[in-house]
Chain A
Amino acid sequence: AQSVSQHNHHVILSEAASLELGCNYSYGGTVNLFWYVQYPGQHLQLLLKYFSGDPLVKGIKGFEAEFIKSKFSFNLRKPSVQWSDTAEYFCAVILPRPLNTGTASKLTFGTGTRLQVML
């Protein structure tokens, strides 16, 4: 079964520091990859996604992620974090399914990384 690993459980940074959160998945075929963010007290929302094409994906709020197929990784980066980036970040993977099969692709989430940005 597919799985997603996020090895950083809790990251503490100062404002303006650079961020990189790790995400590795365990599937050898084609995958679709996502990063979701959950701000304190709120629901999850999509940061960025990768389906195909350019492996460097840019998302909202200055975040980007790079898909490295040889490393089964999809790490999230931001050059300079802000206090407002304090949140929990989830990597997720889905295996594409053929259309019209009557089944749905299941999104598998990692365990999340809690980011705390200090002023």
Chain B
Amino acid sequence: NAGVTQTPKFQVLKTGQSMTLQCAQDMNHEYMSWYRQDPGMGLRLIHYSVGAGITDQGEVPNGYNVSRSTTEDFPLRLLSAAPSQTSVYFCASSLSGTEYNSPLHFGNGTRLTVT
């Protein structure tokens, strides 16, 4: 049982490049989400999904796309990277989206730098 796995751990991009941050969980969790963590701003929700085929926007969705074709995977795509997207990205999952009995399980994060 690996939990939530994020790849890559580190990435450097040039402005305008695109890339996909991968997130996979093996706990059969319905709810998955992406956060970015920036100094002094805590964690901010980018996008989330309550199940395969269902996604919704979080607090800071601009510049990011997501899809959820399977229960296990929830990739985050940056179509045209900008320096403002330099951050640490965390994927998290939970059994259900209501949080009553299912706290978030976090991945180890991806540190992204956009130059």
Q: Which residues of A does B touch, CB under 8 Å?
A: 6, 9, 32, 34, 36, 42-46, 49, 51, 90, 94, 96-97, 99, 102-112
Contacts and interface: CB of A to CB of B under 8 A. Distances in A.
Interface of B: 31, 33, 35, 40-45, 48, 50, 54, 56, 58-59, 90, 92, 97-100, 103-104, 106-109
Give the interface SS of chain A, mostly helix, strand, loop or mixed.
loop
Contacts, number: 64
A41 to B, nearest CB: 9
10 nearest A-B pairs in the assembled complex, by CB-CB distance: A104-B97, A43-B106, A111-B42, A109-B43, A46-B103, A109-B42, A44-B106, A104-B50, A43-B108, A112-B42
A105 B104 contact: no
Contacts of B41: 111
Contacts of A9: 40
A75 to B, nearest CB: 17
A42 B98 contact: no
